[in-house]
Amino acid sequence: MSLRPMPPAVRAAYRAEMNAARTTTDIEQRWRHLERAHILSQPWPWPHTRNHVAMFALAIVQRDRREALGQVVRIIVAAPGSALGRYPEGNTGRAGVSLTQPMPMPTDLAAVLATAQGRG
């Protein structure tokens, strides 16, 4: 799935989360939207990488060195991991979470991804 284009329903949900992250003034909500966008983007190399770049930028704004460094590592591995289908589903993409740790997926995001994969 990773080398196919992002299905329209997933792209719309991803863009909505990324836009919400850009427009909210609440930092915790910004992170939440970026995390949700991350979950949606994992199967696709470039959106996944763009999401980590946005996370890196937010970490820089917050002067969070640990998060910024974690995002640099994730920027490097995001595209190859997505292209090879090696990513932990549901992982929020933050530096405080292991790169390989699967996490529970929010029900609404699971539904969008399942529909895009023909399972819904």
Mean pLDDT is lowest, of 3-7, 31-35, 52-56, 77-81, for 3-7
Place of tokens 């920027």: 75
- In this prediction, residue 2 has a pLDDT band, given cuts at 50, 70 and 90, of very low
**CA-CA distance, 71 to 56, in Å (whole number)?**
5
Residue 103, pLDDT > 50, answer yes
pLDDT one-digit tens code per residue, 17-26: 999 999 999 9
**CA-CA distance, 42 to 21, in Å (whole number)?**
17
Query: What's residue 1's pLDDT?
Result: 42
Query: pLDDT averaged over the chain?
Result: 94
- In this prediction, residue 119 has a pLDDT band, given cuts at 50, 70 and 90, of low
User: What is the residue extent of each domain of the chain?
Assistant: 8-116
Place of tokens 């929010």: 106
Residue 120, pLDDT > 70, answer no
Q: Is the Cα dihedral 34, 18, 45, 88 positive or negative?
A: positive
Residue 11 class from Cβ within 10 Å (0-12 exposed, 13-18 middle, 19+ buried)? Answer: middle
Kindly state the tokens that stand for 15: 């863009």
